[in-house]
Amino acid sequence: MEFRKYQSEIIEKGVDVLCEHGFLYLAMEVRTGKTLTSLGIGQEMNVKSVLFVTKKKAISSIEKDYKALSPNFDMEVINYESLHKKSGSYDLVILDEAHCMGAFPKPSKRTRIVKLLISQQDPLVILLSGTPTPESYSQMYHQVYSCRNNPFREYKSFYKFCAKYVTVTERMINSLRIRDYSKGSELILDKMKPYTISYSQKEAGFKVKTTEHVLIVDMLDATYKVADLLKKSLVVEGKDEVILADTPVKLMMKLHQIYSGTVKFESGASQVLDYSKASFIRDRFKDNKIGIFYKFKEELNALKEVYGDDLTNDLVEFEGTSKSIALQIVSGREGISLKQASCLVYYNIDFSATSYWQSKDRMTTKDRLENDVYWIFSKGGIESKIYNAVKNKKDYTLNHFKKDLLSL
């Protein structure tokens, strides 16, 4: 396998950064080949053993790239959830979708496990992400604090780091005064420059035009009646189950489910209430091999019911057959390619701006000129409100919902 010219140039620069600092942040946009590029850097560094940590859905894709490149090192690919089981020694650890370690003010369990692994071995480290700080520059601290030579190593905790790099404010949430650490300074990115190589789709010569379409579906009258009753009474009692929305957060979640035709009851059981969206998708995209993103698990069951054997949720089966694929939006937004899909269809929408920006690029390749993305929203539902927030790079929060509730 031959690298593209820009990948070869990045590999050369990456080797220099790794040799000088011991870690590298490879901030290459989606579909520009950051996985292959990172493997190429490992090959040029003459490492003998590599641990590649990624999301479970991406493992088969990573292994395919490794096999195609056939480098001169052994590599093990593992998902973050299984990392705590890992022992042994590695010359190089590659951390895919590194932004998922950016939780603050406390480090996530995932981040703590990564730090423990690296501190025990002190390997070379490459961090990969197309969106290093998708919501806040403050997300950078815990991504790199596992790396011995990171530029913030003098700050032994996130709170000490904040004194220099974050404007800490306060806000009210459910009558509680909460400290907000999200206003990180651009100085954070300045400090990361010696350790970072960034590369965009535009620089790589991508010319794809993404067109987004919003399609409105009329749900069943019964669906709207359940939603209206829940908004009014905060509880809907059935013969065997109860829908309870006794907090603003629960009301937001329940309405998000119901307007798309599913619900999770107070008992923990869940159910499809309305197949209107699933049937609409099947009929509207008949005879097309498409990628479908859903949010709640019952939405997958609704799709399976109307599609039958024409739908899979397995990436290998999708690539080897004419079947369409349905993926949960958070687990499917990163590290996989849906380039075989004729278009992307969203059964529902996630509250996260990261989900919006990353998932809709899953079809993109350097040679593809057009992407069509279809959002399936219920008439009068909450989805369009969420869409307006995330497309402007804002997570949809409880504050948004409280303002929007009056118009639902």
pLDDT in tens, 57-99: 889 889 999 999 999 999 999 999 999 988 889 999 999 999 9
Q: How much is the pLDDT for 239?
A: 87
Counting residues of the chain whose pLDDT is more than 70, the rounded percentage is 100
Q: How much is the pLDDT for 364?
A: 83
Q: How much is the pLDDT for 336?
A: 86
- Which is it for strands 235-237 and 242-244: parallel, antiparallel or unpaired? antiparallel
How far apart (Å, rounded) are the C-alpha atoms in residues 131 and 152?
Answer: 20
For residue 75, which phi and psi values (nearest 5 degrees)? Answer: -140, 140
Look over the chain and give the mean of its residue pLDDT values, rounded to a whole number.
Answer: 94
Q: How much is the pLDDT for 1?
A: 79
CATH topology of domain 209-407: Rossmann fold (3.40.50)
Instruction: Provide the residue type at 356 as one letter.
Output: Y
- Whose tokens are 């997958």? That residue is 300
Q: How much is the pLDDT for 12?
A: 97
Number of H helices, E strands in the chain: 16, 18
Q: Where in the chain is the domain with CATH 3.40.50.10810?
A: 5-199
Cβ atoms of residues 75 and 126 within 8 Å: no
pLDDT tens digits, one per residue of 102-138: 999 999 999 999 999 999 889 999 999 998 998 899 9
pLDDT tens digits, one per residue of 128-137: 999 899 889 9
Cβ atoms of residues 134 and 99 within 8 Å: yes
Q: How much is the pLDDT for 218?
A: 98
- Is 278 a residue whose pLDDT tops 90? yes
Q: How much is the pLDDT for 207?
A: 83
Residue range 372-382: mean pLDDT, rounded: 97
Q: How much is the pLDDT for 213?
A: 97
Instruction: Provide the residue type at 192 as one letter.
Output: M
pLDDT tens digits, one per residue of 357-371: 889 988 888 778 889
Q: How many CB atoms lie within 10 A of CB 215?
A: 14
- Is 304 a residue whose pLDDT tops 90? yes
Q: Where in the chain is the domain with CATH 3.40.50.300?
A: 209-407
The CATH number that domain 5-199 falls under is 3.40.50.10810
- Whose tokens are 């958070």? That residue is 330
